[in-house]
């Protein structure tokens, strides 16, 4: 049940992680600015040059690198419909940047997730005990976050993530269809 207390800042939760931070993404699309921004640039043909790290390095990647340098394992699993959405193609095109920063990323075709019990929202799970729910509107805009330290909720998320991870395809082996 949501409380009236704002959740801790995501960066504080990540900074407090000692062993692991896992992220499960369930949507085929998130809020997209169709008029300007990275998605629009990508639609017009822009692609990051893997050899030109300075051109694509950004604050999130620095945070990932700092976190993994502390010994925290960061894993992200994306469940995607196939054929993939245009937004998923966009995500896939620059996921190499996450991997370069130290995050492990895998993709699971939605049809291979049918037998899995999954939470209803995207989440981050820190050290198997703190869940940060990501809530979204129907069009993919952020509707805020929520934190739970309920052991049963953490167990549900840990089991769901591990089940997805066991079936998922590592980023460097996942071919877009």
**Higher local confidence (pLDDT), 170 or 55:** 170
In this structure, is residue 64 part of a structural domain? yes
Using one digit for the tens of pLDDT, what is the confidence trace for 126-146? 999 999 999 999 888 899 999
Average pLDDT over residues 32-37: 76
Q: What's the mean per-residue pLDDT of the chain?
A: 93
Q: Write down the residue that tokens 């900074």 correspond to.
A: 15
Tell me which residue range forms the domain holding 147: 23-31+57-173
Question: Is residue 126 within 8 Å of residue 17, measured between CB atoms?
Answer: yes
pLDDT tier at 19, thresholds 50, 70, 90 = very high
The answer to whether residue 151 sits within a structural domain is yes
Q: How confident is the model at residue 36, as a pLDDT?
A: 80
How long, in residues, is the chain? 177
- Can you give the pLDDT at residue 5? 64
Residue 120 belongs to domain with CATH number: 3.30.870.10
How many independent structural domains does the chain possess? Answer: 1
**pLDDT exceeds cutoff 60 at 7:** yes
135-155 in b/e burial notation, b at 16+ Cβ within 10 A?
Answer: ebeeeeeeeebbbbeeeebbe
The answer to whether residue 44 sits within a structural domain is no
Q: What is the pLDDT of residue 69?
A: 98
Question: Which residues have a Cβ under 8 Å from the Cβ of 55 and sit 6 or more positions away?
Answer: 48, 49
Spatial contact of 101 and 120, defined as CB atoms under 8 Å apart:
no
Mean pLDDT over 13-41 rounds to: 91
Phi and psi (nearest 5°) for 24? -110, 125
Give the model's pLDDT for residue 3: 53
Across 89-95, average pLDDT:
96
């Amino acid at each position: 049940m949501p409380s009236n207390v704002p959740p801790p800042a995501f960066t504080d939760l990540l900074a407090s992680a000692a062993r692991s931070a896992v992220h499960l993404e369930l949507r085929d699309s998130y809020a997209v600015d169709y008029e300007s921004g990275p998605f629009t640039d990508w639609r017009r043909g822009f692609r990051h040059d893997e050899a030109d790290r300075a051109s694509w390095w950004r604050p999130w990647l620095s945070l990932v690198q700092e976190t993994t340098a502390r010994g925290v394992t960061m894993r992200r699993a994306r469940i995607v419909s196939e054929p993939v959405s245009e937004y998923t193609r966009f995500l896939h095109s620059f996921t190499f940047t996450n991997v370069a920063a130290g995050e492990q990323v895998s993709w699971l075709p939605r049809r291979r997730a049918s037998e899995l019990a999954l939470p209803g929202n995207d989440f981050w799970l820190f050290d198997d005990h703190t869940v940060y729910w990501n809530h979204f509107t129907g069009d993919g805009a952020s509707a805020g976050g929520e934190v739970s330290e309920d052991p049963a909720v953490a167990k549900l998320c840990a089991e769901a993530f591990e089940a997805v991870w066991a079936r998922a395809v590592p980023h460097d082996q996942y071919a877009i269809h």
